[in-house]
Amino acid sequence: MADDSFVTRDSRTPASTSATRRAPRRVLGLAAAVVAVATGAVPPALEAQDPEPVILVTGSTGGLGREVARRLAADGAHVIVHGRNRERGEALVAEIEAEGRGSARFYAADLASFAQVRALAEAILRDYDRLDVLVNNAGFGSAPDERWLSEDGHEYRFQVNYLSTFLLTRTLLPLLEESVPSRIVNVSSLAQRPIDFDDVMIEDDFSGRRAYAQSKLAQVMFTLDLHEELKGSNVMVNSLHPATYMPTGMVQRLGVEPRATIAEGADAVMQLIESDEIEGGQFFNGLEPSRANDQAYDDEARARLRALSEELTGVSTSPSERAARGRGDRGLDPDEDPDYLATYSIIGLDPETGELGMGVQSKAFGAGNRAMHAKGGLVVIAHQAAANPMYGGIGIELLQAGYSPEEALEMMVASDEGRDRRQVAILDIQGRTAAWTGDGASDWKGHACGKNYCAQGNILTGPEVVEAMAASFESSSGPLAERLMDALDAAQSAGGDARGMQSGAILVVSERAGGGYSDRAVDIRVDDHDEPLVELRRVLDLFRSGQMLREANRKRGDGALDEALEIAMAARDTSPENDNAWVSLAEIYLALDRRPEMYEALERAVALNPGRTRTLPNDEDFESVHDDPEFRRIVGGG
């Protein structure tokens, strides 16, 4: 156990207030809420932001969904575009990005496959810290009048129009609940027919119209059921018939004349997304509240549909199990939960270069994707155990607003009901630290903060793991990434994660990296490997070798061939498997008229990467030897 649950090693001078970046609404909203919980006041720096909501629109590569996505982006939202057709999806993203008002990202998934729906939901949970609105728009119409089965063996329309909506919504619901005020909009239809629970998959007396109408009523029943469940949660749920016979692909397949425009349908959907004048738990016909089929208001029928949906999708609707699916609070034994970040990590600062960084290793998949947040010139934050990534996003906002690491962490912990299972450490550009290890995190757990670093871990073999990281960092010198790598190796040598090894990562940020276009100076990850630290070291060496080669090429271009050769040889020695290093050496040897050594280097490059036989014959740097028999032999041309 750690000596106490909150440890700091920082001076108490106020943090400098840096310029606040434009940030998504969810981060700023939570940051403000955190401050309000802890102090009773929202800081002006947070109130002044112009936030960007995150909205998922399924079936948004065409028709109504596409128009809604475009309008949302034009209003400044970040739109998660979904569909089956990647080309159309990415074209819409490009169009939105080109307009420069909002932003977008495309995810492909076929709703006729539960596996793809789950993968879609998992990708969104992985990639986003919040979700302000979910618009369930995707669907399949009544034509053609043929009975199809989904990949999972269910009547096609019932799965695509309803069951997959149920599965996706249920899986994303914890994120929507974290993102309040949030909304769910289910795009249904006036075409509704009562569900025959004795023949839900319509094996008898099938028609496309009946299947479509049944699935659309199921959407409305789900809406009303979910509204009752979420009362008081500030998640608003509504459904609607947007417009009658819009000129969409669904209507074209039906062969009828359009009666309404897509713009009219989009107006109705946008109202349910944006209006402050509506209440939840309703069915709308266009812009006006309406009444659905009577079965939608039958409590017994909705209960039967809920039970059937749970059985077919494998998703429970009980509040306790829903809470267990929440991000960071899964309620599982860590040994049974692959997402529990049993891990050790170290965050560090190099005051001479202004670099901040973090190294992590865990017996969990992709720890580097979930355990770290950093902003160059400001702060690095580790969040692990029952990891809640909002500590990263909110922590950055609070530091930007002028709070110290200690103040920020105190406020975040105070407002977090799951604090007992968290482990968090913060280090800012001034070298101030704050750390928290909750009593509910799994033993052995603890942290140690010193000058310009914090080391922490949970489910470790013992305190010696954290002590080894601290000792390594305190005694080391050189580039920050290598110091973090050495600390991870020291931790593993001391026993490491009691569950073993699987993934690792190193992140180093500075205020102006990558030529000033990014703050990422080093960002390398190994998501799944038997020896992740060995592989991480190899990747780090490859990265450093590439940096050296850029300098060697610059020297060669300046005519400083001896210096270029020395640097290129160092790059080769740092990463002997880097074929680029051998090609660079060959270029320098040729410039020095040392052809035997040039050919040795080229032969090694081709052995490492046979693809070089396709590129070298067109490489202008070797134009003078393209017809040389030895060159042709090496590249396979003679």
Q: How many Cβ atoms sit within 10 Å of the Cβ of residue 247?
A: 16
Q: At a CB cut-off of 8 Å and minimum separation 6, what does 220 contact? A: 186, 188, 192, 239, 283, 292, 293, 296
Q: Which long-range contacts (CB under 8 A, 24 or more apart) does 614-620 make?
A: 616/583
Angle at 33 between CA 31 and CA 38, to 5 degrees: 100
Strand ranges for 139-298 from DSSP E: 182-187, 235-241, 283-285, 288-290
Please provide the DSSP assignment of 158-191 as one string. IIIIIIHHHHHHHHHHHHHHHT-SEEEEEE--S-
Nearest to 156 by CA among 220, 211, 222: 211
Token readout for 25 is 């609404």
Name the DSSP letter for residue 18: P
* Cα–Cα distance, 531 to 508 (Å, whole number): 22
Token readout for 108 is 């492909």
Half-sphere exposure (CA, 13 Å, Cβ side) for 32?
18
* Cα–Cα distance, 315 to 237 (Å, whole number): 19
Q: Which residues are catalytic?
A: 212
Q: Tell me, rounded to whole angstroms, the distance of Cα 175 from its chain centroid.
A: 12
The strand pairing partners of 537, in sequence order, are: none
* Cα–Cα distance, 438 to 418 (Å, whole number): 9
* Orientation angle between helical segments 595-608 and 579-591, nearest 10 degrees: 160
Write b or e for each residue in 160-178: b if 16 or more Cβ atoms lie within 10 A of its Cβ, otherwise e.
Answer: bbbbbbbbbbbbbbbbbbb
Identity of residue 424: V
